[in-house]
Amino acid sequence: MNPVVESAPVTGRSAPLPVALDAGSRAFLDRLDGALRSLLDAAPTEVRDVLLPRLTGDGKRLRPLLVHLAGAFGDGTVEHLVGIGLVMELIHTASLFHDDVMDRSETRRGRPTLHQSHGSEVAVFAGAYLLQEAIHVVHHLPALPEATAVGVRDAVSRAALDLCTGQLSEILHIGNANLEATEHWSTIERKTASLFEASCRMAALATNGPVETLSAFGHRFGVLYQLLDDVRDVACTEAELGKAPGSDLRSGTYTLPILSALATDDESGRALRLLLTSRSGKLAPPELDRAIELLRAAGGIERALERSEALGRSACAALAELPENGARAELEALVDGLLAQARHVAARFTNLGKVASA
């Protein structure tokens, strides 16, 4: 198994990729970067100048990595997988542009967000441009059997629709302190897990691999990834995140750590609910600091991390159905690495000791 970054701090723009990649994975991601640069080289100058710094460089490329690893259980070609990885990276980046506008985020990965540097209109249309590029790429993949091509296009279309409906659901529930955890779960399944699931499904379809098994893993991994990202938002510092912490609280987007704290019938949970409802989900900086303090005291982080452990086991259970090879080991290491990062974050809170040592 590839070594997991057991104690890597969550620093430098965003959480680091939680596994040391083998040479094959690094080579695949290098080819993906080349494909991204070629696509931008063919774009109009004003588009290229805006997008080049945002699409090349320091991204984790996690969804394309899943495409590569899921493709290792079939017999397809690397050209198909690079194309699919490119599609997923374009859609993901478009969603980040739109997320940052809606969250009013000023920084991402330690630098100004696109809407902060160029305005909301540019960010919105840049996201739309990338979505159209993704559609173009998926319709011009190297020749696939017609039934396979239809399946691939259907998978990416469904993922894009789920992403939009998940994002819409999140917007409609902004400031809703009574949001049920199950409804929030449905939102992150559509908003985030859909792209991870589609990455694995499309790769399996294109390579004649085990489609349903890999799709199940991608879905569970995506939910786990989003849950831990939500934990980092309320557990890490600005230096670690590359942006101000508490962006979900500030925007009135109540994630599982927040909802878990609100469901706690103790002094901290009740005080947090009173603070959030009295401000209709819009917190000034001093109130945001207080909300984070109350959330931590109410055990919201602890309960969310306990859920992450169960999710990790579920994701690995899907992998158990796959043949043992280097790709499976790397997928297992990705899950282990995410959980290791979570335990590293949890260790700083004295009331989370049992989670940190799990």
Q: What is the CATH number of the domain that holds 196?
A: 1.10.600.10
Q: What is the pLDDT of residues 123-150, one digit of tens each?
A: 888 888 899 999 999 999 988 899 999 9
Query: What CA–CA distance (Å, rounded) separates 94 from 102?
Result: 13
17 is a domain residue: no
CB atoms within 10 A of CB 120: 17
Residue 123's DSSP bridge partners are none
pLDDT score at 12? 32
**Neighbour-count burial for 2-35, b at 16+ CB within 10 Å, e otherwise:** bebbeebebeebbbebbbebeeebeebbebbbeb
Residue span of the structural domain in which 191 resides:
23-356
| 326 touches 23 (CB < 8 A) | no
Is residue 156 domain-resident?
yes
The predicted structure's pLDDT at residue 278: 86
Spell out, as residue ranges, where the chain has pLDDT lower than 70.
1-18, 57-58, 103, 109-110, 280-281, 349-358
Q: How many residues does the chain have?
A: 358
DSSP 8-class letter at 19: B
Predicted local confidence at residue 8, as pLDDT: 39
Assess if residue 8 is contained within a domain: no
Q: What is the DSSP letter of 14?
A: S
pLDDT score of 110: 64
36, part of any domain: yes
Kind of pairing between the strands at 107-108 and 111-112: antiparallel
pLDDT in tens, 187-235: 999 999 999 999 999 999 999 999 999 999 999 999 999 999 999 999 9
b vs e for 206-242, b when ≥16 Cβ sit within 10 Å of the residue's Cβ?
bbebbbebbbbbbbbbbbbbbbbbbbbbbbbeeebbb
> 107 forms bridges with which residues in the sheet?
112
Q: Is residue 6 part of a domain?
A: no
Alpha-carbon distance of 120 to 173, in angstroms, equals: 22
Q: How many domains does the chain have?
A: 1
- Does residue 7 sit within a domain? no
Are the beta carbons of 85 and 113 closer than 8 angstroms? no
pLDDT value of position 263: 94
Q: Cβ(234)–Cβ(300) under 8 Å?
A: yes
Report the alpha-carbon angle 120-132-65, nearest 5: 95
- Indicate the residue type of 150: V
What's the rounded Cα separation, in Å, for the pair 131 and 186?
Answer: 23
CA 47 to chain centre: 25
Q: Is residue 59 part of a domain?
A: yes
Residue 241's pLDDT is what?
80
Q: Which helix (H) or strand (E) holds 327?
A: helix 326-346
pLDDT given for residue 6 in this prediction: 34
DSSP code, position 193: I
N-to-C CA span, the chain: 20
| Inside any domain, residue 16 | no
